[in-house]
């Protein structure tokens, strides 16, 4: 079923006889159960005020269309949403609704925040077919509960987004990357911590153990970027690595590869995503039983590739963080659960919230479900 | 402002409730004498006062859990309290409630520079979080004006902002994890030293829920390394509209200052008389601060000045030193005090789209004439968070009511132009009855459905945030259960 208006969405929800699967561009690899309801046709930028740093769009609006509109005003989506197509082998057009429903962010998450931090307001249709609005289109808003954050990352389990309003940011004049060569995992994570614990505003920190390259990104005005690069370089001189600088063009390529996890685009094995304390990362990766991994978010995000069917969570054991199974066959996903098990109290609240917003249990059944 | 009629049934059980609380708390943590509970009769919204039935000041999460479990069993409403600096009445008690103050829980639990986090008990004041890490060059970014006194617990409850949140975000953007006690005494942990817990964002939901979902006793906060330096530029204009355009042009040019503060003429006049900061007498004053090394600051202030020059400012003063910076900030920082010297005032905090600034200022001026009450405007212009200060005389019968009526009109205007009722102070009781203006029936139902999950009996801070008529049925269920 293809939806092109909020009214039609309300009808679709009210008329639903059983489970419905809400889809935007269908690029994020979420399993469809029941009737597929596509909101890809519910699209268009409804308001864009560059001077107020705000943009409002319908959920089916392609991310590319939004990025193009922003680029024309020298602005951008600062949270740098990842494109999952290469990693998951999906086709289709990523939409802004999908980005927000999945709280999809990229390398810049460590300095500016996640998708959820840039979502200012939502309209959504809940499981009863009621249209609910929350938040707005202003940057500071504490009027009532923050259902905006609750909707971000809820994977359509509470309601279907019908409009999103976002904060956007200026595109910096230029960017550059500092690359450190030859560091082992622990030394790389320590160097990244050093860089992020400096006043030089690093906007990306990633390490690839396969090439032993540690990348640190700086963005801003030309003079500022070259100053900060040289300061960082002296700060990290003691790390024992050979250091080189990469220009704006190279930086673009390096970070889009990191953002989209290009290392695992060959389709081999299962792919896991672990969010943890950066300093815990090397230990977690080492005991995970994975074949290969890369670090983003200064170590706070590990992408790991394991043999198909490997239970990475069991291998890691207890940790301060969570592991998501991003790429695997349906059977493995069903057996291991896509999302990390939650403590009992949190799981109970989550289930109760879902029952409140979706009393008939029609939305994206199976999403957010965890292994027993 | 109406409050629900206190439950006589609960008040009649006071002795038993106090006795049970004394069994789980040290002697000095239970305050039940009427002379002493008066200390908790109000927060910073001093126009409304009501002494609580009991006040408790626990030391540990376990004690908080015990208190909530007992109150849950006894059907006693609980009003959580940080430092009591809410401007919205968020910590205003009712006569049948237990005030649960976290002020004695103020330890730093863990400081972790490698992961840039600090874990604290939430009774700790905002400024003392920075105090714990500043010797090592770090700081906690959200900086509400009351930061010397306000507690992290209250910051989380209200999702507090501050002057520097244009760059660093508000509390919710800097909060990584909480330990929270639910009304039935259950202790839950959400988030921690890592980013973006999978599943529903209960952390984001908790932040800004005004103490209605649970009592947050510990918090993991993001800390940052201090910038190398910061300096402001002061720019004066003869026209509010031009000042608003200048703000918009600066943002469009790609400069992202750490703060853009705006003061209008009544406010400039009041602060000059009070603090003598040497501000130019004009219609609108901008204070714009940028950060970085000296050279970086000069570069950015140069760009800002260049843009400002195109708008014919009457004054443009770039700070060259810490001394000059302090002088530029002096007036802004004493603005509230200066207005308070003239008369009593009510401080609003509606937010508007920056593009509506000139229109809203013009309408506020017109309404000020109409109501016969003076208004000074001082606010965070970069993010449209206004702070109209309405002057009134608390000793003059009817003046407070007139002021509230005027305030409500301003907030309705904020919503009308696409903004909201409150940008950083919270709803509390102050804006509670205006929630209908911003939210329709289904919008409020969705929010109240969340409270139903966390606090089914509606015992936690029940008379706040939602209009009393909207929450009546739910609160009545709690009463009927007695």
A119's enclosing H/E stretch is strand A119-126
User: Could you give the CA distance from residue B259 to residue B182 in angstroms, rounded to a whole number?
Assistant: 37
The beta-carbon neighbor of A74 closest among B165, B248, B254 is B254
Give the DSSP letter of residue B135.
Answer: G
Listed ranges B184-193, B267-276, B337-346; the one with the highest mean pLDDT: B184-193
Give A269→chain B minimum CA distance, Å.
22
The beta-carbon neighbor of B439 closest among A144, A221, A297 is A144
Pairing state of beta strands B108-112 and B117-121? antiparallel
User: Could you give the CA distance from residue A339 to residue A274 in angstroms, rounded to a whole number?
Assistant: 10
- Its CATH architecture, for the domain B343-432, is 2-Layer Sandwich (3.30)
SS3 A314: helix
Pairing state of beta strands A292-296 and A213-220? unpaired
pLDDT band of B439, cuts 50, 70, 90: very high
Chain A residues whose CB is inside 8 A of the B427 CB are 142-144
Give A285→chain B minimum CA distance, Å.
15
| Burial zone of B104 (CB within 10 Å; 0-12 exposed, 13-18 middle, 19+ buried) | middle
pLDDT of residue B197: 74
Topology alike, domains A174-259 and A262-336: yes
User: Could you give the CA distance from residue B183 to residue A187 in angstroms, rounded to a whole number?
Assistant: 45
The beta-carbon neighbor of A346 closest among B170, B190, B423 is B190
Which residues on neighbouring strands pair with residue B388, listed in sequence order? B377
Chain A residues whose CB is inside 8 A of the B416 CB are none
Give chain B's count of helices (H) and strands (E).
19, 18
- Left (φ > 0), alpha (ψ -120 to 50) or beta: where does A151 sit? alpha
- Left (φ > 0), alpha (ψ -120 to 50) or beta: where does B162 sit? left
User: Could you give the CA distance from residue B39 to residue B122 in angstroms, rounded to a whole number?
Assistant: 21
Q: How far is CA B460 from CA B90, B209, B309, in A?
A: 12, 11, 53
* Residues 39-58 (A) with a CB less than 8 A from some CB of B: 49-54
Give A105→chain B minimum CA distance, Å.
10
What's the CATH fold of domain B111-225? 3.30.465
Mean pLDDT across B206-224: 98
Give A322→chain B minimum CA distance, Å.
7
Place of tokens 């069903």: A334
| CATH among 3.20.20, 1.20.1630, 3.30.70, 1.10.10 for A262-336 | 3.30.70
Nearest chain B residue to A356 by CA distance is: B449
Chain A residues whose CB is inside 8 A of the B162 CB are none
Give the DSSP letter of residue B25.
Answer: S
To test the contact with chain B by mutation, choose from A48, A104, A130, A138 the residue with the greatest count of B C-beta atoms within 10 A, namely A138
**B421 close to B38: Cβ distance less than 8 angstroms:** no
Residue B330, both tokens? 């002096």
Mean pLDDT across B250-258: 89
Residue B206, both tokens? 């908790």
Residue A285, both tokens? 């990766």
Give the DSSP letter of residue B380.
Answer: E
pLDDT of residue B482: 54
Mean pLDDT across B233-248: 92
Q: Is the pLDDT of residue B196 over 90?
A: no
Give the DSSP letter of residue A153.
Answer: T
Mean pLDDT across B236-262: 91
DSSP B166-232: HHH--HHHHEEEEEEE-TTS-EEEEE-SSSS-SSS-HHHHHTTSTTSS-EEEEEEEE-EEPPS-EEE
Size of interface A-B (CB pairs under 8 A): 266
* Residues 44-83 (B) with a CB less than 8 A from some CB of A: none
**A164 close to A100: Cβ distance less than 8 angstroms:** yes
**B92 close to B429: Cβ distance less than 8 angstroms:** yes
| Burial zone of A81 (CB within 10 Å; 0-12 exposed, 13-18 middle, 19+ buried) | buried
Chain B residues whose CB is inside 8 A of the A322 CB are 194, 197-198
pLDDT of residue A371: 44
Q: Is the pLDDT of residue B179 over 50?
A: yes
Residue pLDDT, tens place only, B104-120: 999 999 999 999 999 99
Give A344→chain B minimum CA distance, Å.
9
| CATH among 3.30.70.20, 3.40.190.120, 1.10.3720.10, 3.30.70.3450 for B230-335 | 3.30.70.3450
Q: Distance from CA of residue B438 to its chain's centroid? A: 19
Contact at CB, B447 and A144, closer than 8 angstroms = yes
Give A146→chain B minimum CA distance, Å.
5
User: Could you give the CA distance from residue B457 to residue B437 in angstroms, rounded to a whole number?
Assistant: 27
Mean pLDDT across B133-152: 95
Max Cα-Cα span within chain A:
65
To test the contact with chain B by mutation, choose from A145, A151, A230 the residue with the greatest count of B C-beta atoms within 10 A, namely A145
pLDDT of residue A365: 66
Nearest chain B residue to A55 by CA distance is: B353
pLDDT of residue A370: 58
Per-residue model confidence as pLDDT tens for chain A (372 residues): 899 999 999 999 999 988 999 999 999 988 777 889 999 999 999 999 998 999 999 999 999 999 999 999 999 999 999 999 999 999 999 999 999 999 999 999 999 999 999 999 999 999 999 999 999 999 999 999 999 999 999 999 999 999 999 999 999 999 999 999 999 999 999 999 999 999 999 999 999 999 999 999 999 999 999 999 999 999 999 888 899 999 999 999 999 999 999 999 998 999 999 999 999 999 999 999 999 999 999 999 999 999 999 999 999 999 999 999 999 999 999 999 999 999 999 999 999 999 999 999 999 766 666 543
SS3 A369: coil
**A24 close to A60: Cβ distance less than 8 angstroms:** yes
The beta-carbon neighbor of A136 closest among B251, B383, B418 is B418
User: Given CB atoms, is A100 within the 8 Å cutoff of chain B?
Assistant: no
Give B250→chain A minimum CA distance, Å.
8
Contact at CB, B204 and A146, closer than 8 angstroms = yes
Q: Which residues contact A337 (CB under 8 A, 6 or more apart)?
A: A325, A369, A370, A371
A258's enclosing H/E stretch is helix A248-259
Neighbours of B135 (CB within 10 A): 7
Q: What radius of gyration, in Å, describes the C-alpha atoms of chain B?
A: 23
Contact at CB, B158 and A147, closer than 8 angstroms = no
Q: Where are the domains of chain B?
A: 111-225, 230-335, 343-432
pLDDT of residue B313: 97
User: Given CB atoms, is A371 within the 8 Å cutoff of chain B?
Assistant: no
To test the contact with chain A by mutation, choose from B61, B68, B110, B115 the residue with the greatest count of A C-beta atoms within 10 A, namely B115
Q: What does residue A125 show for φ and ψ, rounded to 5 degrees?
A: -105, 120
Q: How far is CA B168 from CA A364, B163, B224, in A?
A: 35, 10, 10
The beta-carbon neighbor of A113 closest among B173, B190, B209 is B173
Contact at CB, B116 and A324, closer than 8 angstroms = no
Chain A residues whose CB is inside 8 A of the B300 CB are 221
User: Given CB atoms, is B435 within the 8 Å cutoff of chain A?
Assistant: yes
Give B449→chain A minimum CA distance, Å.
6
* Residues 177-236 (A) with a CB less than 8 A from some CB of B: 190, 193, 196-199, 221, 223-224, 227
pLDDT of residue B355: 84
Chain A residues whose CB is inside 8 A of the B201 CB are 103, 116, 149-150, 152-154
Give the DSSP letter of residue A269.
Answer: S
Contact at CB, B453 and A320, closer than 8 angstroms = no
Helix axes B322-333, B265-275, angle to 10 degrees: 110
User: Could you give the CA distance from residue B144 to residue B125 in angstroms, rounded to a whole number?
Assistant: 11
CATH number for region A6-170: 3.30.465.10
CATH number for region A174-259: 3.30.70.600
The ipTM value here is: 0.96
Chain B residues whose CB is inside 8 A of the A146 CB are 159, 172, 204-205, 207-209
pLDDT of residue A38: 93
pTM (2 d.p.): 0.96
Which residues on neighbouring strands pair with residue A122, listed in sequence order? A134, A164
Q: What does residue A117 show for φ and ψ, rounded to 5 degrees?
A: -75, -15
User: Given CB atoms, is A153 within the 8 Å cutoff of chain B?
Assistant: yes
Topology alike, domains B230-335 and B343-432: yes
SS3 B404: helix
Q: Where are the domains of chain A?
A: 6-170, 174-259, 262-336
pLDDT of residue B479: 64
User: Could you give the CA distance from residue B115 to residue B109 in angstroms, rounded to a whole number?
Assistant: 15
pLDDT of residue B481: 57
User: Given CB atoms, is B158 within the 8 Å cutoff of chain A?
Assistant: yes
SS3 B374: coil
Contact at CB, A142 and B173, closer than 8 angstroms = no
User: Given CB atoms, is A11 within the 8 Å cutoff of chain B?
Assistant: no
Contact at CB, B202 and A349, closer than 8 angstroms = yes
Q: Is the pLDDT of residue B456 over 60?
A: yes
* Residues 307-366 (B) with a CB less than 8 A from some CB of A: 351-355
To test the contact with chain A by mutation, choose from B87, B189, B196 the residue with the greatest count of A C-beta atoms within 10 A, namely B196
Q: Distance from CA of residue B358 to its chain's centroid? A: 25
Give the DSSP letter of residue B136.
Answer: G
Neighbours of B109 (CB within 10 A): 13
Helix axes B240-252, B357-371, angle to 10 degrees: 150
């Amino acid at each position: 079923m293809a939806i092109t208006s909020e009214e039609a969405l309300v009808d679709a929800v009210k008329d639903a006889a059983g489970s419905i699967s809400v889809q935007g561009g269908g690029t994020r690899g979420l399993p469809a159960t029941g009737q597929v309801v596509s909101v890809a046709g519910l699209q268009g930028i409804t308001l864009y005020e560059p001077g107020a740093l705000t943009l409002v769009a319908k959920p089916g609006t392609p991310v590319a269309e939004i990025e193009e509109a922003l680029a024309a005003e020298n602005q951008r989506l600062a949270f740098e949403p990842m494109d999952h197509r290469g990693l998951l082998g999906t086709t289709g057009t990523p939409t802004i609704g999908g980005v927000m429903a999945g709280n999809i962010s990229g390398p810049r998450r460590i300095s500016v925040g996640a998708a959820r931090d840039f979502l200012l307001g939502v309209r959504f249709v809940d499981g009863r077919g009621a249209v609910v609005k929350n938040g707005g289109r202003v940057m500071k808003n504490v009027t009532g509960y923050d259902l905006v954050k609750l909707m971000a990352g809820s994977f359509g389990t509470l309601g279907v987004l019908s409009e999103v309003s976002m904060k956007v940011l200026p595109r910096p004049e230029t960017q550059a990357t500092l690359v450190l060569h030859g560091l082992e995992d622990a030394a790389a994570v320590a160097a990244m911590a050093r860089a992020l614990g400096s006043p030089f505003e690093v906007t990306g920190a990633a390490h690839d153990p396969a090439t032993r390259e540690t990348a640190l990104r700086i963005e801003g005005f030309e003079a500022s970027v070259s100053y900060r690069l040289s300061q960082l370089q002296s700060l990290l001189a003691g790390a024992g690595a050979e250091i080189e600088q990469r220009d704006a063009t190279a930086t673009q390529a390096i970070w889009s590869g990191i953002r989209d996890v290009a290392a695992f685009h060959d389709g081999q094995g299962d792919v896991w995503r672990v969010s943890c304390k950066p300093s815990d990362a090397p230990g977690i990766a080492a005991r995970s039983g994975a074949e290969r991994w890369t670090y983003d978010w200064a170590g706070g995000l590990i992408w790991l590739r394991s043999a198909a069917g490997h239970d990475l969570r069991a291998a890691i054991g207890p940790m301060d963080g969570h592991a998501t199974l991003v790429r695997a066959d349906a059977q493995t996903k069903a057996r291991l659960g896509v999302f990390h098990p939650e403590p009992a109290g949190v799981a109970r609240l989550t289930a109760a919230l879902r029952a409140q917003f979706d009393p008939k249990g029609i939305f994206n059944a199976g999403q957010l479900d965890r292994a027993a | 402002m109406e409050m629900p009629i206190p439950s006589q049934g609960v008040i009649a059980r006071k002795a038993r409730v106090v006795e049970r609380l004394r069994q789980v708390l040290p002697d000095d943590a239970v305050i039940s004498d009427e002379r002493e509970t008066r200390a908790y009769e109000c927060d910073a919204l001093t126009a409304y006062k009501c002494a609580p039935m009991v006040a408790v000041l626990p030391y540990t999460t376990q004690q908080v859990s015990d208190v909530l479990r007992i109150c849950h069993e006894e059907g006693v409403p609980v009003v959580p309290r940080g430092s009591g600096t809410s401007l919205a009445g968020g910590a205003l008690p009712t006569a049948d409630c237990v005030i649960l103050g976290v002020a004695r829980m103020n330890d730093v639990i863990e400081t972790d520079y490698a992961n840039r986090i600090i874990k604290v008990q939430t009774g700790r004041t905002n400024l003392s979080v920075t105090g714990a890490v500043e010797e090592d060059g770090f700081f906690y970014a959200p900086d509400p004006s009351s930061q010397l006194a306000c507690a992290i617990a209250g910051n989380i409850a209200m999702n507090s902002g501050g002057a520097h949140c244009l760059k660093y975000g508000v509390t919710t953007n800097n909060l990584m994890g909480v330990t929270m006690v639910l009304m039935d005494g259950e202790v839950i942990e959400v988030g921690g030293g890592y980013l973006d817990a999978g599943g529903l964002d209960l952390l984001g939901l908790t932040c800004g829920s005004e103490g209605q979902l649970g009592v947050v006793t510990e918090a993991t906060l993001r800390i940052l390394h201090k910038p190398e330096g910061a300096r402001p530029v002061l720019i004066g204009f003869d026209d509010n509209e031009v000042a608003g355009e200048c703000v918009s042009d600066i943002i469009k040019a790609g400069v992202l200052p750490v703060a853009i503060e705006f003061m209008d003429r009544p406010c400039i006049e009041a602060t000059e008389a009070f603090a003598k900061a040497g501000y130019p007498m004009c219609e609108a004053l901008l204070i714009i601060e940028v950060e970085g090394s000296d050279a970086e600051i000069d570069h950015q202030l140069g760009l800002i000045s260049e843009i400002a020059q195109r708008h014919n400012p009457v004054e443009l003063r770039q700070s060259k030193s810490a001394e000059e910076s302090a002088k530029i900030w002096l007036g802004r920082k004493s603005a509230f005090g200066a207005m308070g010297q003239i008369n009593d005032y009510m401080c609003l905090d509606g937010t508007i789209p920056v593009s509506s600034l000139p229109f809203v200022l013009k309408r506020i001026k017109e309404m000020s004439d109409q109501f016969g009450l003076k208004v000074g405007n001082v606010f965070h212009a970069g993010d449209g968070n206004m702070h109209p200060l309405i002057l009134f005389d608390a000793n003059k019968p009817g003046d407070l009511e007139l002021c509230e009526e005027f305030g409500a009109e301003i907030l309705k205007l904020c919503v009308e132009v696409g903004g909201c009722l409150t940008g950083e102070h919270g709803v509390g009781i102050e804006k509670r009855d205006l929630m209908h203006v911003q939210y329709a029936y289904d919008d409020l139902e969705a929010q109240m459905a969340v409270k139903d999950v966390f606090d089914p009996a509606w015992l936690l801070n029940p008379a706040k945030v939602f209009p009393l008529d909207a929450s009546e049925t739910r609160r009545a269920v709690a009463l009927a259960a007695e």
